[in-house]
Amino acid sequence: MKHPKEEQTYVMIKPDGVRKGLVGEIIRRFEQRDLKIVALEMFQPTYHEIDNHYPKNEEWITRLGQKTMNTYEKYGYDAMADFGTIEPHKIGPDIRKWLVDYMMSAPLVKMIVQGVHAVDVVRKIAGDTMPYKADMGTIRGDFSIDSPALANKEKRAVMNIIHCSETPEEAEHEIKHWFNNAIVHKYKRFGEEE
């Protein structure tokens, strides 16, 4: 059993976060909450790396398609005209492709963030997946207003500044995928000395 302060999560600043000049601001918000950055790098991902980052299973792809269909229904858009289908499992692959294209459009910043309930706290600091719904005071709520209604119309992924793992299991998997055997640093922040 790990010490509560050793929970780790995976965070990636997406192309819009990098291009809006938010790298420092995002790191500041994590550090301000007493979370510790233990690995950090800017890099240009390969197609292969991004393709393997997003799940390929039917369930995840269908969920992505279903979310899009929900938006189309809510706003009265014509999914048949845009996708040639209204079936979530057939729409999902298109959205996944938009995501991969978007993630490759600029360098990314990847990091491992460590601390008490790091996974949940980082998601809370990030805010709702959909920036237009995200609370003020969250990264997405303060720096974006993007919505699936607009993104789907423009045939692109929702630009929501950062990616962060959803569960500790997903964090472990993503840290392995993105950092492999890279060095994770150990240090005590001021106030952590015994």
Which of residues 99, 121, 122, 175 is near ligand GDP by CB under 6 A? 99
Selected range binding ligand GDP among 79-87, 94-102, 175-183, 184-192, rule: CB under 6 A: 94-102
The span of 21-29, 33-41, 67-75, 185-193 binding ligand GDP (CB under 6 A) equals 67-75
# residues near ligand GDP by CB under 6 A:
16
Q: Give dist(CA 54, CA 69) in Å, integer.
A: 20
C-beta atoms surrounding 116 within 10 Å:
14
Q: Which residues, listed in sequence order, are joined to residue 111 by a DSSP beta bridge? A: 11, 40
φ/ψ of residue 42, rounded to 5: -95, 140
36-43 and 162-164 beta bridge pairing: unpaired
175 near ligand GDP (CB under 6 A):
no
Candidate list 13, 26, 158, 175; residue touching ligand GDP; CB under 6 A: 158
Question: Judged by CB under 6 A, does residue 157 bind ligand GDP?
Answer: yes
Q: How far is the CB of 189 from ligand GDP (least distance, A)?
A: 28
Which residue number, 25 or 101, has a Cβ lying nearer to ligand GDP?
A: 101
From CA 146, how far away is CA 130, in angstroms rounded? 7
| From 163, 173, 177, 185, active-site residue | 163
User: Which residues, at least 6 apart from 52, have a Cβ–Cβ distance to it below 8 Å?
Assistant: 177
Biggest CA–CA distance in the chain, Å, is: 63
166 lies in the binding site for ligand GDP (CB under 6 A): yes
Question: CB under 8 Å, gap of 24 or more: what pairs does 26-34 form?
Answer: 26/139, 26/161, 26/162, 27/111, 29/125, 29/139, 30/113, 30/122, 30/125, 33/115, 33/121, 33/125, 34/115, 34/116, 34/189
Active site residue 177: no
> Taking CB under 6 A as the rule, does residue 71 contact ligand GDP?
yes
* Contact flag: residue 35 with ligand GDP (CB under 6 A): no
Q: Which residues bind ligand GDP (CB under 6 A)?
A: 64, 67-68, 71, 95, 98-99, 129, 148, 151-152, 157-158, 160, 163, 166
Catalytic machinery residues: 163
